[in-house]
Chains A and B, each alone.
Chain A
Amino acid sequence: MIHDSLIRERLVTGDKTAADVTRDISRPILNQPSSAWKIGFTLSLIFLGIFGVSLFWTVWTGIGVWNINKSVMWGWDITNFVFWVGIGHAGTLISAVLLLFRQKWRMSINRSAEAMTIFAVVCAAMFPVFHMGRVWVGYWALPLPNAFGSLWVNFNSPLLWDVFAISTYFSVSLLFWYIGMIPDIATIRDKVKTKTAKFWYNFFSMGWTGSTRSWARYELVSLILAGISTPLVLSVHTIVSADFATSVIPGWHTTIFPPYFVAGAIFSGFGMVATLLVVARKVMNYENYITIGHLEAMTKIIMVTGTLVGIAYLTEFFIAWYSVVEYEQYAFINRATGPYWWAYWSMMSCNLIAPQVFWFKWARTTPWFIFIMSIVVNVGMWFERFVIIVTSLHRDYLPSSWVMYSGSLTEVGLFLGTFGIFFTCFFLFAKFLPVINMSEVKTILRNRE
């Protein structure tokens, strides 16, 4: 017998039956793509093209086509890297941590959030790879045997930690996403008509039969993978923050970075999940699965993590003052009042002040407003990384090396282009794979025979 609370809102509304769920969720896969999908996909391909052109120009001509200079050697590239890695975090949090905490509201959003994680990590990986001056020997950063032509790597370097952190994160997320999808792929396999489609869905369902034994193993593997993924929620962005925290540059050299980055990552990740889902639920008519209750839960997380990040900003200021280190103090005063004040205050208002509107119930339950706020969050988090990277580097120890920096057209193109990668992947995902976990959602239906 299913427990049904009198006061809690239902996780799936509209009195859906299990058959309804299958029909609703496999509809986009079985039918021809809608015109909304076609328009969106075309736009994504255009942006993907922008990425291709910008990347070709960068690799063909040299990193000099960016505007980075002798003092600010990381600019938009690493800003975008941290931005995209951060976005990935919500997927892992939703799928792993909320699974362990038995939060059932995760069930209708985890599939798309995990997909978002994987695509975001792909976008992120573009930047540390292609910011290398000699990308064709980039594999030297892997610990390959010397006989391969490479030499052993430097385990002291946070960039090497990144290599391990990101690749682990990507492979575990991909595995988790895929394993979770097997029962649903099998459902699709049984419904598709064409021979090619049958072959591929059959191949990827790995002969899933839905026997009790299969289900028992599936549950166990999910739990194990959730256990493996949970530390990754904390570790990946901790290591990304170590790129900065282990350096000697004032504004980077701070011990608060790991928790601050993790909170920021979850904040930005939920921002992006909200952006995607508010649109997806409308366009794909999934309002009964991704309900206002789901959006409200996400806005609460956005508010909490946004406030955490805001407290971290203020703590940095306090510590800079408290440290009595002149360089630290200058770095922070320069952030807030120097030539990049606009970036700092964009960050402050988008990340700390704006999410406070979610104290109001209206703000938490109005989809169009949540959409606007989620964009604000994304913008704010991009500025956060820009502020950390560029304002710290542009004025560090010796005033003789103080410079200004602004992104070139190629750098902007690369950034916009990663949205092309991201949305191309996402549209393909929405066309060929079930965006909501059918088998799990069926377990939380009220209307079960």
Chain B
Amino acid sequence: MKLRLRREMHWIRIDRYYSFVSEKESMTRENDIADADSTDKGEYKHWENVSVIHQPMMCQHCAQAPCETVCPVLATSHSSEGLNQMTYNRCIGTKYCGNNCPYKVRRFNWFRYNDNDKFDFHFNNPLGKMVINPDVTVRTRGVMEKCSFCVQRIQEAKLKVKREGGNMKNVQVETACQRACPSNAIVFGDLHNPDSDISKLHRNERAFSVLDELNVQSSVKYMTKIRNTETI
């Protein structure tokens, strides 16, 4: 039901884009593909050389975030550490931020999902609740949410340094997606520290930002794959 209405709640999604070569012509654009499909006459020649590009997409934590300026109550704001923060208990749910996000990564709580029999998923009993991450705030109905860069993990690391002494530079914060990724494709770190892994990767010539031309100055960069073809 939720999916049919296009109300996926993922904070990180995997986008797929297809391109293929058809009669020596490479195609990536939707219309070209549709045209090729309609003139195909059932031979499906152009499907023989399909390549799929996949791209995990989540909040890009833009330095000039379009979502931040449009919220009438400042429920989404920029932290001094460069995070794009979502303040759930400040949000009044105008959804303007979600509309103005060029990456469309903001998710809205259309109903009250917690403790609601209509959205049970075995989470509404004490045992089921033990599965839920206790460090992540439960969002109420009518507020916006999105990838927080696992702010609870950053906070935990900061508190640990405060308690036990030491330097944040030596503390490794791992986001949940990073820990789950078996091929280490996701790297998280401190961009202010020029020696961190993430800073080195950001300086790499393979690094690019999605929708760079909008100048939203996203904090997330992707590493392009080196391919031996003329066009992707």
**Stretch of B10-18, B35-43, B153-161, B189-197 with 4 or more beta carbons under 8 angstroms from chain A:** B10-18
Residue from B102, B142, B210, B211 within 8 A of A132 (CB atoms): B142
Which residue from B90, B106, B112, B214 sits with its C-beta under 8 Å from A151?
B90
Bound: A397/B103 CA distance, A: 7
A63 lies within 8 A of chain B by Cβ: yes
Judged by a CB distance under 8 angstroms, whether A196 is at the interface is no
Complex: A69 Cα to B107 Cα, angstroms: 9
A contact residues around B102 at 8 Å (CB) = 248-249, 396-398
Is there a chain A Cβ closer than 8 Å to B104's Cβ?
yes
Give the dominant DSSP class at B's interface. Answer: loop
| A/B pair count, beta carbons within 8 Å | 140
Q: In the complex, A156 Cα to B57 Cα: how many Å?
A: 27
Q: Does B50 contact A (CB under 8 A)?
A: no
- Are the C-beta atoms of B90 and A62 separated by less than 8 Å? no
- Shortest distance between the CB of B60 and any CB in chain A (Å): 11
* B16 CB contacts on chain A under 8 angstroms: 400
The reply to whether the CB of A448 lies closer than 8 angstroms to some CB of chain B is no
Q: Which residue of B96, B104, B141 contacts A398 across the interface (Cβ within 8 Å)? A: B104
Q: How far is the CA of A438 from the CA of B111 in the complex (A)?
A: 52
CA–CA, A151 and B7, complex, Å: 30
Contact A133 B108 (CB under 8 A): yes
Pick the contact of B92 from A61, A70, A140 — CB < 8 Å? A140
* B72 interface neighbour in A67, A134, A157, A248, Cβ under 8 Å: A157
Interface residue A346 (Cβ < 8 Å from any Cβ of B):
no
Residue of B17, B110, B210, B211 with highest tally of chain A CB at under 10 A? B110
Bound-state CA distance A156–B112 (Å) is: 30
Given contacts A63-B108, A157-B96, whether A133 and B15 have CB atoms under 8 Å apart is no
Which of A64, A71, A132, A140 has most chain B Cβ within 10 Å?
Answer: A64
Which A residues, 207 to 257, have Cβ-Cβ distances below 8 Å to chain B? 243, 246-249
Instruction: Write out the residue numbers on chain B whose beta carbons fall within 8 Å of the beta carbon of A246.
Output: 69-70
Q: Contact: A71 with B6, CB < 8 Å?
A: yes
- The digit string for B57-89, where 1 denotes a CB below 8 A from any CB of A, is 100000000100111111000000000000000
Closest to A138 in B: B92
In the complex, which residue of chain A has the Cβ closest to the Cβ of B99?
A73
Shortest Cβ distance from B2 into A: residue: A64
Interface size on B, residues (CB 8 A): 46
A73, A135, A154, A399: the one contacting B30 at CB < 8 Å is A399
Q: A62-B112, A63-B142 are in contact. Are A74 and B92 (CB under 8 A)?
A: no
Number of A positions contacting B (CB below 8 A):
45
Given A71-B6, A396-B102: A159 and B96 within 8 A (CB)? yes
Is residue B221 contacting chain A, with contact meaning CB distance below 8 A?
no
Q: A131 within 8 Å of B by Cβ?
A: yes
Within 8 A of B (CB), among A64-80: 64, 67-71, 73-74
Q: Within residues 84 to 125 of chain B, which ones have a CB less than 8 A from any CB in chain A? A: 90-96, 98-100, 102-104, 106-112
In residues 154-168 of chain A, which contact B (Cβ within 8 Å)?
154, 156-160, 163
Any A CB within 8 A of the CB of B226: no
Verify if B32 is at the interface (C-beta below 8 Å from A).
Answer: no
Chain A residues contacting B91 (CB-CB under 8 Å) are 133-134
6 A-B pairs with CB atoms under 8 Å apart are A73-B96, A132-B92, A134-B92, A138-B92, A158-B70, A243-B96
Q: A69-B7, A137-B92, A248-B66 are in contact. List 20 more A-B contacts (CB 8 A).
A: A62-B112, A62-B142, A69-B5, A71-B6, A71-B104, A73-B98, A133-B144, A134-B92, A154-B72, A157-B96, A159-B72, A160-B72, A248-B100, A397-B103, A397-B211, A398-B15, A398-B211, A399-B17, A400-B15, A400-B16
| 5 cross-chain pairs, A with B, having the tightest CB-CB distances, nearest first | A133-B93, A133-B142, A64-B110, A401-B104, A400-B15
